[in-house]
Each structure stands twice: as C-alpha cells, then as structure tokens.
A = this chain, B = another copy of it.
Amino acid sequence: MSVTGKTSEQVTASSDLALVGELGKQLRVDGIRASTRAGSGHPTSSMSASDLIAVLAARHLRYDWSNPKSPDNDHLIFSKGHASPLNYALFKAAGVITDAQLMAYRTFGSPLQGHPTPVLPWIDVATGSLGQGLPIAVGVALAGKYLDRLPYHVWTLCGDSELAEGSVWEALDKASEYRLNNLCAICDINRLGQRGPTEHEWDMDVYRARFESFGCRAIVIDGHDLEQVDRALAEARAERERPVAILARTKKGSGVSEVEDLEGWHGRALPAEMAERAIIELGGIRDLRVATNPPEPGTPAITRGGGKVELPTYELGAKVATRKAYGDTLRALGARPEVVVLDAEVSNSTHAEEFKKDHSERFFEMWIAEQQLVAAAVGMSVRGYVPFASTFAAFFTRAFDFVRMASISEANIRLSGSHAGVEIGADGPSQMALEDLAMMRAVRGSTVLYPSDGNSAAQLVGLMADTDGIVYMRTTRGAYPVIYPPGESFAAGGSKVVVSHDDDTVALIGAGVTLHLALAAAAELEKAGVRARVIDLYSVKPVDTATLREANRVTGGRLVVVEDHHPEGGLGSAVLEALAQEARPPRVVQLAVRGLPGSGTPEELLAAAGIDTAAIVAAARRLAGKD
C-alpha cells in the first residue's frame, strides 16, 4: 500500500499545515478502519470533520493528554457523538490509545463505544442524543469563566442536523448572555443528514444569520481549507466578548471519491474492499503523533472543600413548605464554595432565590429553558462543582432526555422539582407533576427523595450535596406542620415509621403531602379500632425494603400506599418492587391520581383524586376487613 506522506512524524503547533493535513487524512483512515472492522459506525460523518479536528488538535487545543482531569485543560466535546470514529482516531493520534484498542471499536467490553461516553477519561460527557453537547459545553464554559476563572477554552463539534434541536438555541442564548468568549461551536455543515440532505444544506447565510442573531460571532469557512480553519480557530481563541461559531462548509465522506458528498452513507461502515480502496485514496495508514499544546497552568479561583454548613431547623408544629426548606438549605450550603445553584426563572417559587441572597456569584439564571438548566448542571459537574438545579417538578419532563444522558455520563447533579401533584390547587393540571417520580425512578442509579416536613427536607437537601449520580427531590407547594424534631437524621434508602404498634393491622405508606393525610387517617382509624402503622417513605429510591418487609409481616400483608402521582411508576410501584420476591408478598392498595384533575383548592383536589384522609381511612378499613 503506498503512503504519500510521512508516516510516523510528530505533528506540533509549529508543523506546517501540509503535515497537519496528513494528520487529517490519518484521522479519516483510522475512522474508516475502526468502523469497517466493527461493521457499523459513522465514518463519513467523521471524515467531514477530520480537517477541523486535525487543525484544532495540532495548533489550538491546549490539553495535557496524560492528565485529563487537570483543571487547566481545554475541553473538547463531540456534540455530534456519532463522529466517535474521529474522536477515537484522535485519541490514537494523541498516543493515549493503541491501534489495537482502536480496532476494538464497538466490541463488547471496549470503552470505545458506538457513541462517546466518559468511561474513557478524555471524554467529559456522553453524547449521541443530538443537541446536547453544546448545552453542556455552555455549563463547562460558565464554570471556566465564572467559577474556575481559568483561561481554558471549550470546543464543541456540532453537526448540522442537530442544529434543528431547540436545545442548541437555548444554549446559544445563554452563551451570549453570559458572554462566553471561552466557548466555540465548530459546526460541521456537511449538508447530509441521516436520511438525505439536511433542511438547510449549504445555505451558510441562514446559519450565519441565526448564530449572529443569537449573539455569536459567526465565522463562515471552507472546512477543508486548512488555512481558513486555522485562522478561524485562532480568532475563536482570541475572541474577548462573545461565543464563537465556526460554520464550516464540509463534505461528508470527504477525501474518498466513492462516498464524498453522496447520499446513503450515513451510519454505514464501508465494506472491506471499499475501505481498502478508500485508504489507498487517502494515502494509506499512517502513525503520525499529535503533540497537543500544553494548557496554561493556573489555579481554579474556587477551592473545593471547607466551609461550615449549618443546616436550617424548624420548630415542631410550625408550618413550613418543603420548597422553602429547600431554599433555606441551599443558602446554608452556600458556605461550601463548590455548591452552585441554577434556576429556570422560577426561583421565587422554588425558593432557590434564597441562595442568591448570599451567593449571587454562584447563582446562574437559565431562564425558561429547562433543557439548558439540566445541561448546565451537567457541565458544572464536569468541573467538579456541586450543582443544584430547580424548577417546577412538572417541567423537568422537558429535560428528561438530558437527565437520561446525564446518567450515562455518570454526572453528579441535584435536581429539585417543586409544586408537585394535585396539591398545588388552582393553577390546574399543566402545572401538576404527576409523573415525575416515575420518570426519575426510571433513571439508572438515581436517588429520589420526597420529604414531608421542613426538618427532613433540610437534612435531605444537605445529604444531596454529598450524593453522587442523579439525585432528585420533589418538594411541595403548601406549608404543612413540622413533624420531626430538629436534629433527626435521614438517609438515602431510609424511611421513618412515624406511628406504630405491635399489633398494627394495616400500614399506611405515604410521602410528602400524603404522609400528613396518612397521619390524620391513622388517628381516625385508631378511634374506629383499627391500628395503623404510618411510614414516611421519603426515600423513594433507594427504598427501605427492611422497614417495608417488617410492615408486611406485622400487618399480615395489608399495605395502603397513597401518593399524589399517577398510579404507574411512583411510590406504589416502589413498594411493590421492593416486596415482589417476598415469600408472602403483600396486598397493596394503591391510592393515586387516576383521572384528569382541574383547578380547585388542594383539599378539593386531593379528595376528588381519592387520595385524601377519608379515602385512606376507607381503603384501610376495607383491607382490615372492617367494611
């Protein structure tokens, strides 16, 4: 096989562009080799961006490949995650993976998965759900400019198809508002999407106008003209005011005549013989090494650790909304310098604004853009901050895909949703989260908390800060009596048996507002001669199986679960799943919201949904054989 260029030279910032071009060809070749070997993947989507990445890696990126967690490093996020062959080919060129590792692409057990995930240390976040890399990059860039205050740059490789995702425009709006000159979106406008031409093909004027109107400096270039690429990347690094979008006109499958700019080659590996011809056309297999510029050494402005937190406490019997306790506790947590808070323009309702009072420099307004809210939290998690993001619980459904991907990224983010369930009252069903517990429970490795009073909420918010993974807390709109004394402790996976006797005939299991209703029901049942155990299942996931098991045993399997949520996937499901394999599984009555609620008072709506005290009493009596 003939090779036109040098095969094992080192490519540095001072190498001439011809050699950088050779690197670009190597990236193409290696992407083809890896995907052809795997029998799947997106080589042509990688080839369109290979020149962009070659110039970036050789001349502009500042990165210590031997120390990927260095705070000084630039960040490079492949928002078009399907260009993973290119991403991995770059890692080979950087010398951090071997050619043999590259050839294991997409095989079982290989960290070189079909789309990038952070099982590889040089990857910040999982991508592959389009339109997420750029919003997350905004979070990293916010951390760089406002928290770390380090000169690292955040580079994001975007595809053109993904510019149809609204999340991209949410991201750019925030990027320009926060003047993220440390952010560059490198857009690979290769004209071809998965199933044919993209909507705007090579209409660079449309793209330019849109990016400019969203506050970016837009630089339109030919993405295969190395000098133009080099100049644009230099301008991006030098920019002082705005985020930069490099709009690169490229050709899908660039460099290989059998596929270049042709339809029908998205997400397809080249057949072996064709791959061989392609590699020959590209000048053969090379082993160039790219010696990326080292980062500027620096020290993050924020030192993690330290800061004495005194959690708020509330007097027994005082009426406190858990959302208020959330806000108060955030404010207290602000003593820890790594805690940051993000809001979606509802901080007066979620009470996240409490944090802002003392720590406005670590409070980030994401406006009404819930996808960006979660994405920014993920980006800050990349830099080791402890982000709390809050909005109405119902509106986290807007960001479910971002939460799903955050789990794959193994990000550490804390989410709090207020105004859950019919309890909110007059605002009506659009504002009522009735599926948030199902959604958040279904996320791999998530922690789902749902406190019922001020003291438990405060303790659990404090605990969230030190809990890894996706941690969700549901808070309640209304103020209810504090039932736990200050200092009581709570844990993920815990629960509280609030009322119990040795001879309980039924157990009432609730959380949040329904715990209060269950307590009232137990008092009524007691009068009627029915002994009821009341369990506060504040940790919905993980769930306290031991306590549930004991309740099952004592009551002879009579459990009433009451939740301000649809019957699928919430508290009731958690109880059923926990006890599914018992030798004697319980009978579980699920009181939940089954119809379509309207407006009304909380009391009216709880009654109409059949989850109020009277409904609990009736269900318990039936189960206890008293009716």
Q: Which residues of chain A from 335 to 385 have a CB within 8 Å of any chain B CB?
A: 345-349, 353, 365, 367-372
Binding site for B on A (CB under 8 A): 38-41, 81, 106-115, 117, 119, 126-131, 161-162, 164-170, 173, 177, 193-195, 198-199, 206, 209-210, 212-214, 345-349, 353, 365, 367-372, 394-395, 397-398, 400-401, 404-405, 407-408, 410, 426-431, 434-435, 438-439, 441-445, 541, 557, 566-570, 572-574, 576-577, 580-583, 585-590, 594-596, 598-601, 604-605, 608
Q: How far is the CA of A216 from the CA of B374 in the complex (A)?
A: 30
CB distance from A364 to the nearest CB of B (A): 13
Nearest first, the 6 closest Cβ-Cβ pairs linking A and B are A166-B166, A128-B430, A108-B600, A569-B569, A438-B442, A114-B428
Contacts of A130 in B (CB 8 A): 368
Q: Say yes or no: A428-B113 contact (C-beta < 8 A), given A164-B369, A580-B590, A581-B588.
A: yes
Contacts of A81 in B (CB 8 A): 430
Q: Say yes or no: A195-B577 contact (C-beta < 8 A), given A428-B128, A438-B439, A568-B441.
A: no
Contacts of A198 in B (CB 8 A): 367
Extra contacts, 14 of them, besides A108-B599, A126-B429 (Cβ < 8 A), are A110-B598, A110-B599, A114-B599, A115-B427, A161-B345, A165-B170, A195-B353, A400-B439, A442-B566, A442-B568, A568-B569, A568-B574, A573-B577, A580-B588
Q: How far is the CA of A590 from the CA of B40 in the complex (A)?
A: 32
Contacts of A162 in B (CB 8 A): 368
Contacts of A126 in B (CB 8 A): 429-430
Copies of this chain, count? 2
CB distance from A127 to the nearest CB of B (A): 7
**Are A106 and B430 neighbours in the complex by a CB distance under 8 Å?**
no
**Are B428 and A117 neighbours in the complex by a CB distance under 8 Å?**
yes
Q: What is the chain B residue whose CB lies nearest that of A211?
A: B213
Q: How far is the CA of A519 from the CA of B372 in the complex (A)?
A: 44
Contacts of A206 in B (CB 8 A): 213
Q: How far is the CA of A588 from the CA of B573 in the complex (A)?
A: 13
Contacts of A427 in B (CB 8 A): 40, 114-115, 128
**Are B367 and A199 neighbours in the complex by a CB distance under 8 Å?**
yes
**Are B165 and A368 neighbours in the complex by a CB distance under 8 Å?**
yes
A sample of 21 inter-chain contacts (CB < 8 A) reads: A108-B600, A108-B601, A111-B598, A114-B431, A129-B398, A161-B367, A164-B173, A164-B367, A166-B166, A166-B170, A195-B353, A209-B209, A394-B401, A397-B404, A398-B401, A438-B442, A438-B568, A444-B566, A557-B585, A580-B587, A581-B587
Q: How far is the CA of A165 from the CA of B368 in the complex (A)?
A: 6
Contacts of A541 in B (CB 8 A): 568
Set B168, B577, B599: member contacting A568, Cβ < 8 A: B577
Contacts of A165 in B (CB 8 A): 166, 170, 368-369, 398
